[in-house]
Structure 1
């Protein structure tokens, strides 16, 4: 079945479909086993050097699938591929909303052709799986670099590790650099939150999980109520008010989510308590935001210095928020003010 999102919005310009009777992949051309988009095999980390992601998975080279996590649209496994450790994500078919799960799979590939230190790299993706690897409830499979098994949500909520100003500022800067790169390529993530930021063994943050992402056309915003964007959801605690109101989305929606994430890094708390519908209504109607005025962390001199950055990031008006490009100087200024 064709992707609900036009394939041309997902593939690099220099990637062209061609007929292949081998490994099955993206549903663009037909053959006896399914469909494929063939690109040259590229070894990982020197074995298969990679500027682009591959649309062919060499299943015989895949070993030792070990579950590491699961979410609303899929499960993630640690595996070996071509001698390297990788993460394998199976996007499952949601029986309640098949269209949304299909859109989630294709949205995962919006940043597949991009390479950046602070973004999880896609290695390969396919919609067809050989019988030996079959999963009837799966829409597609994505191979990604294996970053690690920890995310920022675990650091914030489950870890006893210190999360001092120098550390959370470094994490915030990593996320801002990743967003700046994504936005420069017109990709909006739309689900920025601590659980979607992975930590590498070198303690570097990498933005993951692009299942809600959108690729914008040049100079255009996209209506969040467009039928082809029915998968747009994100996490309600981090979602920008304009998206809750069904208005046009832009990169500034990610900046709002960044602001909520930054508050969590500073406080190590959840942004809201109470009923979901009440929170959604209050964010839009009453500009509800995580506590700053009465929160003990922000009563100190250091905490007061953080307030202006947070206030700008989660402004009710997207045009009043800083761009991802402007975030990094703001964070560097904050670092200087904190004496770090």
Structure 2
């Protein structure tokens, strides 16, 4: 077992609103149940942008973003039984949790009663050091939070499954979506396009909801059965009571009222995009139709492994654009303009070591 700290390097946000820049830092020495990996690919999530700019008001700095991580094992602690050097592995939004509360014991670590340790911007449960994410060359994570990348899954495209994928797969599984289910997806960005692919892969009838008809061809190509224009009042009226589940992927404040009548009795609209306030909502369609509005974070580790295995079997992958590490600031700007179809992935082979950093 390595007893030394890993000197590594990446890109960090030094302060709110600042451009990401090269950053040298250390990873912890391997604990008995730790896995050290070289990062091969890192997905770029909208959460990374929000955190870098402190949009939610709880960011800490400097921070290395990135919680969609695909890599190769380079070392393991003596108690690690699940992985060995050379294995292709992945890490998502969590790096640790208490492991003993009721939620952790049933595989819902994302709902840990003590709070899970985020892959970046969190605090190590033992040292209280701030965690740093996947925009870096190496990462060290306890084996319980390391996922196996199935053979046949394209490593260069798989990273967004670790956040965008599980964020949309989890509600599909929670609400029992399968053949014959009627699923609506609001928005066709990074989250939305994964919701479409996964719902279709589960056998559901899938409808994309968009303010304009411009995305119809894209929606159908991704596996949707149709596109519903939310500004077309006649079309929306005809679609009333037509959905068992609506996944709302819109990442900013918006109005839910037009979508609530689309739910059938006992139908659910689940919010996975916006973190924060929404427009005022009427309870009338909820009361009269026994409908629900819910929220859903990511899934637990077992469910995330289930997702990776499912995607390998079904050959479901995100639509991605590969970028170099030094293009991250431009990628953030493009992401703000919705100028990506549909996720950026950083090829970490492009990350060059600063002169002062050594491993």
TM-score normalised by the chain length of structure 2:
0.27
Structure scoring higher RCO (CA < 8 A, sep ≥ 6) equals 2
TM-score normalised by the chain length of structure 1:
0.28
Normalized per residue, the structure richer in strand is: 2
